[in-house]
């Protein structure tokens, strides 16, 4: 309770130090994606369907007389059902360039993930729901809503270096059979430099979290690290990222929460020539999973290769042709996993 009160006091004190404004500055952005997808699973029936995805983002910002910028944002996404994204922090950006995110701040290890090029489009193969091989390098970075994250100013300690650190705590709710993240911490850094005609970005972070669960917590962990590097030379971008660690999958059935020990490697390349963008990306994830308290013996894997061609039709309008192939194994068996998918569609952004 003491941690929660201190956090609330810091928020009220910071915001209360300024006069009440009549209205903040709001900016809007969004996109509409419409296309058709064809899926060919390794087993089962080929299907085709329409992909219809829209999103609308509002960013709110205002600067106090003392020079501190207070900002936040929210997003509405429509993928068949409307989902309002309310997991957004209040961000305070100070005059020295440093910043503090309060509430829903996330984990600093995820903040510094290096962007790796990948295929455009909305194609994919669903596969087995019990396949727990990770697909994102920051899969081990978790947090709760009661969290803060500090961001350094640019050129912190060295030219091109930025760092951040985060902490989140629990709500005090009683433990249940369903496992959840109770508290977390994370640190991360990004370093940008040049080498000849190339701009090089190095980044990564370390995270750890405690798990709340009324059942045995032996071998129940969430935490790990991620590292990545990207290079931009003119119209060519290449990148590689790697993540390793532990996570978990919650279950409503007592005693069947899953502990996952995994790793994932991502690599990609993107080339822009005129109005055309060519992209190729590969992801290889693997994991061992088992019930809490049991050594993981089941092997899950998922290897994905995707390619796309994106053509800029007009300002804010692009046409996309994408292809993805998936080779997956669940609990050591690949007989019902994997397949391939095509996508052709258009995106309008503002």
Give tens-digit pLDDT for 111-130.
999 999 999 999 988 766 78
Q: How confident is the model at residue 336 (pLDDT cuts 50, 70, 90)?
A: low
What's the rounded mean pLDDT across residues 21-38?
A: 88
Domain with 133, as residue range(s), is: 2-26+34-349
Across-strand partners of 57? 29, 75
Contact between residue 260 and residue 132 where contact means Cβ atoms under 8 Å apart: yes
Q: Would you say residue 311 has pLDDT above 60? A: yes
Give tens-digit pLDDT for 184-212.
999 999 999 999 999 999 999 999 999 88
Q: How many domains does the chain have?
A: 1
pLDDT value of residue 5:
42
Lowest mean per-residue pLDDT among 53-57, 81-85, 231-235: 81-85
Q: How confident is the model at residue 12 (pLDDT cuts 50, 70, 90)?
A: very low
Q: What is the pTM of this model?
A: 0.85
Q: Shortest CA distance to 202 belongs to which of 174, 240, 229, 168?
A: 229
Give tens-digit pLDDT for 249-298.
888 776 788 889 999 999 999 999 999 999 999 999 999 988 887 766 77
CATH for 215: 2.40.160.10
């Amino acid at each position: 309770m003491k941690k929660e009160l201190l956090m609330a006091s810091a928020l009220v004190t910071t915001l209360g130090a300024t006069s009440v404004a009549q209205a903040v500055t709001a900016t809007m952005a969004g996109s509409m994606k419409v296309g058709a997808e064809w899926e060919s699973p390794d087993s089962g029936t080929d299907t085709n369907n329409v992909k219809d995805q829209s999103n609308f983002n509002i960013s709110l910002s205002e600067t106090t007389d003392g020079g501190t910028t207070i900002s936040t944002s929210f997003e509405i996404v429509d993928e068949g059902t409307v989902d309002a994204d309310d997991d957004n922090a209040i961000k305070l950006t100070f005059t020295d360039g440093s910043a503090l995110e309060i509430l829903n701040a996330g984990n600093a290890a995820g903040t510094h993930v290096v962007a790796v090029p990948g295929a455009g489009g909305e194609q994919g193969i669903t596969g087995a729901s019990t396949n727990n091989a990770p697909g994102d390098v920051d899969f081990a970075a978790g947090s709760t809503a009661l969290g803060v994250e500090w961001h350094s100013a640019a050129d912190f300690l060295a030219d091109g270096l930025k760092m951040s650190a985060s902490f989140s705590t629990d709500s005090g709710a009683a433990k249940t059979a369903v496992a959840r993240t109770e508290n977390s911490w994370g640190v991360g850094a990004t370093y940008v430099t040049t080498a000849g005609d190339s701009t090089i970005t190095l980044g990564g972070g370390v995270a750890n979290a405690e798990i709340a669960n009324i059942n045995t917590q032996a071998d129940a962990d969430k935490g790990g690290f991620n590292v990545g590097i990207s290079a931009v030379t003119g119209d060519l971008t290449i990148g590689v990222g790697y993540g390793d660690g532990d996570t978990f999958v919650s279950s409503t059935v007592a005693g069947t929460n899953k502990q996952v020990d995994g790793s994932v490697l991502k690599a990609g390349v993107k080339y822009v020539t005129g109005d055309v963008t060519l992209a190729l990306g590969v992801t290889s994830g693997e994991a061992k999973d088992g019930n809490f308290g049991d050594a993981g013996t089941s092997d899950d894997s998922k290897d994905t290769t995707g390619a796309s061609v994106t053509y800029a039709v007009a300002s804010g309008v692009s046409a996309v042709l994408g292809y993805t192939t998936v080779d997956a194994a669940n609990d050591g068996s690949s007989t019902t996993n994997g397949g391939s998918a095509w996508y052709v569609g258009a995106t309008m952004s503002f």
